Structure 1
Amino acid sequence: MATPNMLPLRGHALRRLFQRTPASIAGLHSSSRCRERYINGSKTDFDKIVLQSSTDRVVLVDFHADWCGPCHALSPILNKLTTERTTGSGKPLDLITVDIDNEEAGGVALAQEYKVRAIPTVVAFQGGKPLSQFVGALNEGGVADFLNKL
């Protein structure tokens, strides 16, 4: 025979439990928002995601072009590492890619504004300000070293 304590909680009863119970007691924990990825972001996306970002996150901006072989080699490494890890200081990583040939989306203007002279160029931003950057296709270890310094 089931006692009231053994019955599964559903609906309103479950909500009432979590309203009364602090998250730490309920076994929950708060975490920062999921890591974000924006492929071929526009100038508007860049302004919103990078320039208006908080200081508790780091946004990597991958300046690339579709015709660039090294860019295609670097892209899966950036995707993998920004999914799996944080910066050396423990901050979550977001990633936005900017096609420097896409004039309509503002990629040309962004490349000029941030003085991109060669691709791929990856710039780390925090709180809307550039922190660090690297130019060229690094291997996974090289990108990991870069992230550890952030």
Structure 2
Amino acid sequence: MQSLRALRPLQSVLRTAPVRTFTFTARRNDHFLNANAETLQKAVANKDKVVLVDFYAEWCNPCKMLSPILEKLTADEAVKTGSGKSLDLVTIDTDAEVELAQEFQIRSLPTVIAFRDGKPVSQFMGAMPEPNVRNFLSTI
């Protein structure tokens, strides 16, 4: 009997204790940071999305200006390409992935190449303001 009385205060606390619930939605757009050749091949093979490949270097100041714009636009599910497909972002450090930079003939940083259906369809070089990047996306 004593033990039941001892549990009553505990029961009242448990009834009023706040319950935390967690909800999440699957992220539709992916960001592959510091990708290698294998990651790039897997990402561009996705035919449901347009994949932006951002070739950059840590020491590149224009890259540091462009990267947040690309991350913002690809994270926004409302942003679509001209083809109506959503976006994934692949970032490749050209200092770490020299072979990939040579394969895609990267001559200037940053360089962004858009892939659709596994093939490069458009690209731009240099930092651009957000409205210009949005315009670029509307063409692919």
Verify: 1:137 aligned to 2:130, yes or no: no
- Out of 48, 52, 58, the position equivalent to 2:50 is 58
Shift, 1:97, TM fit? 0.1
Give the distance between the partners of 1:44 and 1:132, measured in 2 at CA: 21
Q: Secondary structure at the match of 2:71?
A: helix
Indicate the residue corresponding to 2:100 in structure 1.
110
Indicate the residue corresponding to 1:15 in structure 2.
none
Indicate the residue corresponding to 1:128 in structure 2.
118
Give the distance between the partners of 1:49 and 1:91, measured in 2 at CA: 14
Show the 5 A alignment for 1:7-22: none
Change in 2 beyond 3 A, CA 1:90/1:33: farther
Q: CA RMSD in A?
A: 1.4
Verify: 1:80 aligned to 2:72, yes or no: yes
- Out of 135, 146, 149, the position equivalent to 2:136 is 146
Identical counterparts, % of pairs: 51
- Out of 21, 40, 61, the position equivalent to 1:69 is 61
Give the distance between the partners of 1:115 and 1:128, measured in 2 at CA: 18
Give the distance between the partners of 2:52 and 2:38, measured in 1 at CA: 16
Indicate the residue corresponding to 2:40 in structure 1.
46
* Superposition misfits of 4+ residues, deviation over 2 angstroms: none
Give structure 2 stretches of 5+ with no counterpart: 1-25
Shift, 1:90, TM fit? 1.2
Give structure 1 stretches of 5+ with no counterpart: 1-31
Shift, 1:33, TM fit? 7.0
State TM-score, norm by structure 2. 0.77
State TM-score, norm by structure 1. 0.72
Q: Secondary structure at the match of 1:119?
A: coil
